[in-house]
Amino acid sequence: MLKSNKNSTPFSRPKNPEKTAAECACIKHIQQIHSPYYYVYSHISLLGLFFKNPNNPLHIELGCGKGQFISNLASENLDKNYIAIDLIDAMLGLAKRNVEQVYAEKNIKPENIVLTRYDIERILQILDKEDKIERIYINFCNPWPKGKHRKKRLTHTRQLEKYKQFLTPNGEIYFKTDDDDLFNSTLLYLEETGFEVKAKTYDLHEEPIFEHNIETEHEKMFTEQGIKIKALIAQNTSKNEKQVSNT
């Protein structure tokens, strides 16, 4: 199940009334140290504490940046829970403000979203098959063009094998990029790891494949520069149960 880790820092307000005395004491201590939306959790079940409806379907965004995408997506889909992950504290601070602003404009509470700091290369330290992630969003990740760095790509085979450990059967990956090489390589990575590409496009704005496309800041910038946006939807159809190291 989704595991707490002392190095993770989610941003949200716990809502589950059925907290244990120990959990309440931990939260009270945290509130004395941090701002109301900033939590360091340790030995606490994140799902039960941070989502109003923890049994809702769970989606994640890997590399959320300033949070423009996830704040709009989550606020439009209150029947789903969202975890947005990034490694850079400054980005998460901006994402936190974007989430608060978007939800405030819609006059709703951010009870279905958590932002957390974590190294995505070690994602199996906080997620596993019990979390039953139904969808992963990866938007305009670092293309790592140099050969020796390509294993760092969020869509590399090494990462995809990890995602299969917590994606549900038929779980999906929604991917967007401006980079031609990364896109073409990702198609190969997906084939190698048993994912089925259900839809793809080399020009998302001319050939939409998403029911509702939410533009990110990078997407708007690249589009203004005349760069076509590549996108795909892949489905986890592999029956491979091989375990992957979490390091």
Rounded to the nearest 5°, which phi and psi values hold at 107? 60, 45
For the stretch 135-193, pLDDT in tens is 999 999 999 998 888 999 999 999 999 999 999 999 999 999 999 999 999 999 999 99
pLDDT at position 147 is 80
In tens, the pLDDT along 47-101 reads: 556 788 989 999 999 999 999 999 999 999 999 999 999 988 888 889 999 999 9
Q: What is the pLDDT of residue 134?
A: 97
Give tens-digit pLDDT for 223-239: 999 999 999 999 999 66
User: How much is the pLDDT for 13?
Assistant: 39
**Secondary structure letter of residue 68 according to DSSP:** H
Q: What is the mean pLDDT of residues 1-18?
A: 47
Average pLDDT value for the chain? 82
Structure confidence at residue 38 (pLDDT) = 37
206 CB neighbour count, 10 Å cutoff: 9
pTM for this model (two decimals) = 0.82
Contact 154, 120 (CB under 8 A): yes
* Higher-pLDDT residue of 16, 216: 216
CA nearest to 69, candidates 232, 220, 203, 211: 220
Range 173-199 burial, b when 16+ CB lie within 10 A, else e: bbbbbbbeebbebbbebbeebebeeee
Q: How many helices (H) and strands (E) does the chain have?
A: 7, 7
Residue type, 60: I
pLDDT band for 120, please (50, 70, 90 cuts): very high
Give the model's pLDDT for residue 239. 61
DSSP letter at 7?
Answer: T
